[in-house]
Every structure is written in structure tokens, then in C-alpha cells.
Amino acid sequence: MFEECEGYLSNPSSLSAEAAGEILLGHRHIPVGMEMPARERALAQRPGDEYVDFIDDVGVAMTLLPQNVGERVRVARISALERAKAAICAAQAKEAYGLEQDIIARHEDEGIYTENPNRGAGAEVALARKVAQRLGSSFISYSKSMIEHMPYTYNALERGELNEDRAMLLVRETNKLDPGVRELIDREIAGERGALEGVGDKQLLARAKKEVLAFSNKTDMNNHADAMNKRRISVTPTPDGMMRVSGLLPVV
């Protein structure tokens, strides 16, 4: 009765740490297609990319939506466009992440910029996004952190449950934590599909701070100690012979 199983091993083969981590997290950290080394991607790329034309066509199509519709349709469109904006932001983060990897691989092949292999990546992204150069580097840092260590946040952005500002908020609030802790917090906050629907900025920020504090309150303790050192009382005379007393004191 077990003849069909003859070709199978009696014990499963061992998994790499990366593969095991992917199973535990429920999906891959790195977006599909990024597993291929940057050098191989560069050799395999075509002279042109039809997807650039497709993206441009989609942009044009968004300006041509027929206007002979009612309120309910307009609300549905606004919601759909918001989801599309979030998906585009996720795609842009993926491209920025991949661009940095490609530039690093090219510099390694050429044997240049060994101390700063990603040199020029921020400028390229800033130029493409039409922002200041420093914001290009910041965007790459955000993209890399989210894709490598916060995959659930990234997927929520792809689905439109988060917008770019809120995804950046989560990345920013966890950026000083160890990668493993970031991944745990990412799963706790964004791991359940639909958990972030309708969550506002303040609510999301409070939840992120709570999760961070649960794992490490070192930063908060340092901030409190610094504030204690700066406590003070000041007296300011007023023109009518009175004085104003003000202070920065502990709540207790």
C-alpha cells in the first residue's frame, strides 16, 4: 500500500536558517525575483522594459476616468485609488532596494568604492523621486529595513492596509532595535491580515511605542534620566512689581 512512497526519504532533509525562518514567518523576507544575484540580473536584463511603458499608461489612464458617475462610485474610486497608491509605494520601495543592491554589486565587480559600496544610490533614487539628495538615502534605508526585517508591514503596504507615511512610522519607531526584535514586533502589529484597516496615525504610533517598550525600555529610561538632569525653576519679573515663577519638574 506504500509503493507510491518508495522514492521518499524517511527523514526530512535539514533546512538552512534562512529557509527555516521563512517558514516560521509564513512567507519570504525578500520579494520574489530578488533571490537572483545582482550580477546575474544585470546580465539577464533586456535593453528596454515594457513595464515602464505600462506604468506610464496606467498613470495616463487615471487622468481619463469618466466623470458621469454618482457619489457611491466616486467614493469607491477614491478607496481603490488609495489602495493603488499604497501598492505603488511598495513597488517603489522594492525598486529602490534592488537598485542599491545592483549598484553595490557593480562597484564590487569594478573594485571601486570599497569603503562605501552603495555610493551614488541615494542620489539616483532622489533624482528619480524628484526630491532632495538626502531624502534619497533615507528612502533606501527605509526600504531596506522594511523589506529585510518587516515583511508583514511591507505586505500590508502592498495590500493598501497601510499608506507610505504609516509604514515609515513603523520602520522609524523600531529602527534602533535588533533585527530579530523588529521582526517580532512587525509580526505582532501587522501579521494579521486586515489588522491595520482603519487604524489612524496616533493609534498606530501608540501601539508601536507600546510594543517597543515591551522589548526594550532603555531609550525611554535614558530620555527620562536626561529630563531629570534638566529640571529647573526660573523666576521672571513683571512690569507691575510681581514675578512669574515657572518650572520644569517631575510629575511626582
pLDDT in tens, the chain (252 residues): 445 445 444 444 555 544 555 444 444 456 666 667 777 776 666 667 788 999 999 999 999 999 999 999 999 999 999 999 999 999 999 999 999 999 999 999 999 999 999 999 999 999 999 999 999 999 999 999 999 999 999 999 999 999 999 999 999 999 989 999 999 999 999 999 999 988 999 999 999 999 998 887 666 666 766 777 888 888 888 888 898 888 888 776
Q: Which residues contact 27 (CB under 8 A, 6 or more apart)?
A: 151, 155
Q: How many CB atoms lie within 10 A of CB 204?
A: 20
The tally of CA atoms less than 13 A away on the side-chain side of residue 148 is: 14
* DSSP strands (E only) in 95-224: none
Q: C-alpha 50: how far from its chain's center? A: 27
> Cα-atom radius of gyration of the chain, to the nearest Å?
25
Q: Is 232 left (phi over 0), alpha (psi -120 to 50) or beta?
A: beta
pTM for the full predicted model: 0.73
pLDDT for position 239:
85
